[in-house]
């Protein structure tokens, strides 16, 4: 069925549920699981403006923090599951779609809080953009805020 499942994460409060769902499906299919974080470099570093932290150091710090969090999540999963972690830079939606294509992922699992209205219009939806950009199926899992799955 699936051989390589990608779970992109932004480390919000529903990330552990998404990882768990991806791991369960990967185990059931005998698939590899990749946990991905995209460091969004399209917004300027606020500390750059005050000259407190150089641009490169700021993004290096973000990549290291993302890698550490991905490792912590990976360590909660069954040891027999093939889990890889990856941290890349770029605009999240196109970067996720490109990573999935380049790494032969055949399913992307993403979570959403299911925002709508003004919040959706202002923030946009990375999940929705990935759904249109990806060359493989995208499973969108809606979790209510503070839900305990």
d(CA 69, CA 65): 6
pLDDT at 45: 53
d(CA 88, CA 41): 10
Sequential DSSP letters for 85-134: EEEEES-HHHHHHHHHHHTT-SEEEEEE----HHHHHHH--HHHHHHHH-
Residue 68 is encoded by which pair of tokens? 């550490």
Of 4-8, 43-47, 73-77, 145-149, the one with minimum mean pLDDT is 145-149
SS3 75: helix
Q: Name the residue with higher pLDDT: 149 or 125.
A: 125
Of 10-19, 41-50, 68-77, 97-106, the one with minimum mean pLDDT is 41-50
Which domains are present in the chain? 4-142 (3.40.50.620)
């Amino acid at each position: 069925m699936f051989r390589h499942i990608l779970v992109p994460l932004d480390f919000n409060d529903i990330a552990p549920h998404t990882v768990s769902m991806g791991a369960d499906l990967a185990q059931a299919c005998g698939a590899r699981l990749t946990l991905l974080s995209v460091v969004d470099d399209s917004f300027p570093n606020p500390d750059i403006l005050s000259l407190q932290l150089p641009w490169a150091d700021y993004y290096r710090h973000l990549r290291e923090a993302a890698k550490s969090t991905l490792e912590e999540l990976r360590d909660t999963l069954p040891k027999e599951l093939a889990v890889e972690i990856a941290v890349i830079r770029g605009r999240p939606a196109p970067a996720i779609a490109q990573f999935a294509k380049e790494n032969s992922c055949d399913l992307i699992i993403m979570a959403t809080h299911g925002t709508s209205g003004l919040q959706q219009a202002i923030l946009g939806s990375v999940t929705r953009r990935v759904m249109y950009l990806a060359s493989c199926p995208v499973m969108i899992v809606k979790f209510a805020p503070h839900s305990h799955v």
